[in-house]
Amino acid sequence: VNAVLDPASLQALEGVAQEHGLARLGAVALDHPGFSPARVALDEFLARGLAGEMAFLPRSAAIRREPARMLPEARSILVALVPYDGEPGPIARYAQHADYHTIVHRRLLRVERALLDRIPDARTLVCVDTKPILERTAAVLAGLGFLGKNGCLIAPGLGSYVLIGCILTTAQWTGANASTSNPPWDACGSCRACLDACPTQAFDSPGRLDPRRCISYLTIEHRGSIEDILADRFGDRIAGCDACQEACPYNRSSARTERVPAGSGLPAPPGPRRDVDLARLATLGNNQHRSFVRGTPLDRIPRRAFRRNALLALGNAAGPVGADERAAIERGLLDGDAQVRAAAERARRRRLDRGSD
């Protein structure tokens, strides 16, 4: 007899989830027909080379399509959401907190424990972000929200500033399938605020992002050179981008307390408060870099990419050049790394040459 995850069990687990800082919990069977269009979208995405330098995407595509390759006989996914807040600024909101991978993982372990207590025959695998699961699609099909034209999962009452975590399980979900009769991005209606707000016009069409033009990809994942035509649009962003979420009416209406229920936000990173001083970040030494990124999702960004990003942002700044900014740009010109040098060269052209005439 197969292990079974029924609606009563899900309801009990939802209680556990909420107690442990997971604002929503839903379930979806892996044979839900709604995964088909998402697999097609993934195949098209990969075929067009949109993964850019994200080699992990093509490498893990077969598992992303068929998660049972990670956990034999997997039949369902439990999907949880963790809302977050933050301030507009050079670092995207999700990265202003302690690393969500660790936090969401830890919270999911409590739900996993409760699931195994209730369904001892089940096997499980906790997956947060880095495991190849189509997380946004799973969240939609588990009934937790819908996809916006910005590609993000938007959860009613929470908006899109939510992170997704999953538990893959061999237990069979026996509850109803969430409907997929609505076409994607249907709930957006005629709105296209996110598409228009994207500084680099990175959307090919609603819901279809070309990461190679996306500031989030370029600042976090991309190590090669960045064309001026794109860098000119970064503004002061050095790690991620929230412009297509800032523009979204679904993120505007509710008060912070409503969006981030008590006990389910993300805690601050460990250590002292991080000051985002571009001149300092452009000249980060090894130890300074380690302590700046430690315990946050920023630790994906190597030191030289961080320095490159800060130099690009320095190049985009306006107004008189401070002595510390000048020193940072001049130091960058002598750097051993070609991308750091190129970013410093751009900042010199835009800030120093102009400042001295």
Per CB under 6 A, residues contacting ligand B12 are 34, 37-38, 41-42, 45, 54, 92, 94, 128-129, 133-137, 140-141, 147, 150-153, 160, 162-164, 180, 184, 207, 209, 211, 214, 216-217, 220-221, 240-242, 244
Please report how close the Cβ of residue 186 comes to ligand B12 at its closest, in angstroms. Answer: 9
Burial of 40 (0-12, 13-18, 19+ CB in 10 A): exposed
- Among ligand B12, ligand SF4, none, residue 119 binds (CB under 5-8 Å by kind): none
Question: What amino acid is encoded at 283 in this protein?
Answer: T
Taking the complex as a whole, the smallest distance from the CB of residue 200 to ligand SF4 amounts, in Å, to 5
Decide whether 17 or 153 has the Cβ nearer to ligand SF4.
153
Q: Which of 248, 278, 281, 311 binds ligand SF4 (CB under 6 A)?
A: 248
Q: Residue 228, class by beta-carbon neighbours within 10 Å (0-12 exposed, 13-18 middle, 19+ buried)?
A: middle
Distance from C-alpha of 343 to C-alpha of 224, rounded to nearest angstrom: 12
Question: Considering beta carbons, is residue 66 or 246 the nearer one to ligand SF4?
Answer: 246
> Does 249 sit near ligand SF4 (CB under 6 A)?
yes
Looking at residue 328, the DSSP 8-state letter turns out to be: H
Among 30, 247, 340, 347, binds ligand SF4 (CB under 6 A): 247
Q: Give the angle 208-212-217 at the CA atoms, nearest 5°.
A: 95
By CB under 6 A, is residue 153 in contact with ligand SF4?
Answer: no
Helix (H/G/I), strand (E/B), else coil: 277:
coil
Q: Active-site residue 129, yes or no?
A: yes
Among the options 6, 85, 129, 236, which is catalytic? 129
Task: At 165, list the tokens.
Answer: 């975590």
Residue type, 119: I
Residue 137, binding choice from ligand B12, ligand SF4, none, Cβ under 5 to 8 Å by partner class: ligand B12
| From 77, 141, 188, 305, residue interacting with ligand SF4 (rule: CB under 6 A) | 188
In the complex, what is the shortest distance from the CB of residue 105 to ligand SF4, in angstroms, rounded to a whole number? 24
**SS3 call for 317:** coil
**Closest to 339 in 3D by CA, of 212, 219, 223:** 223
Q: Which of residues 258-297 bind ligand SF4 (CB under 6 A)?
A: none
Q: Which residues make Cβ contacts (< 8 Å) with residue 275, sequence separation at least 6?
A: none
Q: Residues with Cβ < 8 Å from 305, sequence gap 6 or more?
A: 219, 222, 223, 339
**Cα angle value 315/321/322 (rounded, 5°):** 120
Q: Name the residue with the smallest CB distance to ligand B12.
A: 240
Distance in angstroms (rounded) separating the CA atoms of residues 288 and 292: 6
Q: Return the one option of ligand SF4, ligand B12, none that residue 220 interacts with (CB less than 5 to 8 A, by type).
A: ligand B12
Question: Whole-number minimum distance, CB 187 to ligand SF4, in Å?
Answer: 7
Q: Is 96 in the site for ligand SF4 (CB under 6 A)?
A: no
Catalytic residues: 129
